[in-house]
Structure 1
């Protein structure tokens, strides 16, 4: 259902408000470069600081701009189950292709709490749901055994696996088989995860180098493993640079260098220090982006 290169897009801001023109232009840039889908209002989209109205507007505008040319997986997660249900119902109403739901952060639910949270959201809607496991940001790790339980729910169809562990991905494949698709949530380990059964990626790097990410994926699935490996190694320095500071600070800064959006964040995120900016700029120059 969700295979290929999906792009976790930043939310452009200008003078404190969502910059809708920059958002639409960036989506067009990504579609023109062959991506499979767009993912608004995730971690990269600074969803934690968007108001309900902004969150819903960004989702609706993304769907409107894509016009069915690529799929849209809307970020609708929250650490409140009721809020996650509200946002996921909205995504369903505006005809998103799927909803991405992060594990509840800060609350630190146990595995049963995680199961009940996602079960409650899934039962409130019919839209396909993509689980999102990123313990480095949430403080809670959803175990493969919990993913396997959730995979028995009809509209839970995929997981964005961002532990960066091929062992975790392999265990999910072993326990779930084809009941759930794995999408890499970590650009640095996307290539290795393809080798253990991942079907695609929800990528930060693809904001900057979409065509090369698409080429790497297509090379792998067509059986040209040596070319895919070569492209993985070419992409690797940029993928590392996307995380020299807290995401989405580096990618938004890179897109500012590329003239795609303003270098504007919402507190508690802030611009990176000049020495990191310079390191990022040099990496992008070496990669031929600038």
Structure 2
């Protein structure tokens, strides 16, 4: 049985929807940012907290867990700067509690959702797994801390793990059942679509004078279902004992500018956006694009869905919840 911690959140719920097709799944989530209704009905749901030893004990003692997938981090960069305690407490300390209980029950397989924020502001156009890690905020720092902890646990306790560093997850389930629903919403694609649905007055583009072809920042967008399938490929490689430890980037390898994203949203929806050019945000790199060549070679995974497919799936879902 696979334990998915944070399986009621955006990425976790999409993973669960895919995972229940091939595995028995139990979800642990405190519903602080997740949604109970997003959890696939085929999965067992337990409301509980990542940092609670008693909550974890109740799951591990009741169910035959043989792998854990961890999606339960706090992930707002700005909030991590203003409230770093929350991020180190949940993302690092609570994860240590989870690992402690895993070791107690001799569960040695762990999939960790990490982030491009571990790289900070890169000095390369295409980021590879061996690129320099130098986080510039507590969120990225907390994720890198856990990566380092996992390496130490692998050496000391024979923990088997895969770290997946991903970039901009976007889109909605092709079933139309679940999509991206944050409060507050901070991600570009849902913000644009909310505006095109009349829920926001305008879209702010933070800087149009970057050293990119159209002057706006370039980011690497990946469909959330592609992301889920990468996690399952990583899980299956661990369960088959093909590798003991690995770190992979997940992205499309190309990148799209803010202007390209807005243009594609307008094309998909047939609606025109009201765009305002605002000041640059501090710490925004001009370009963040990942190479996913390593996971393609190792596990045969690559992103299959392009920007138009990402936006079309998101648009269908946003319209359905109007």
Q: Which has the larger radius of gyration?
A: 2
TM (normalized to structure 1)?
A: 0.38
TM (normalized to structure 2)?
A: 0.35
- Going by fraction, where is helix more abundant, 1 or 2? 1
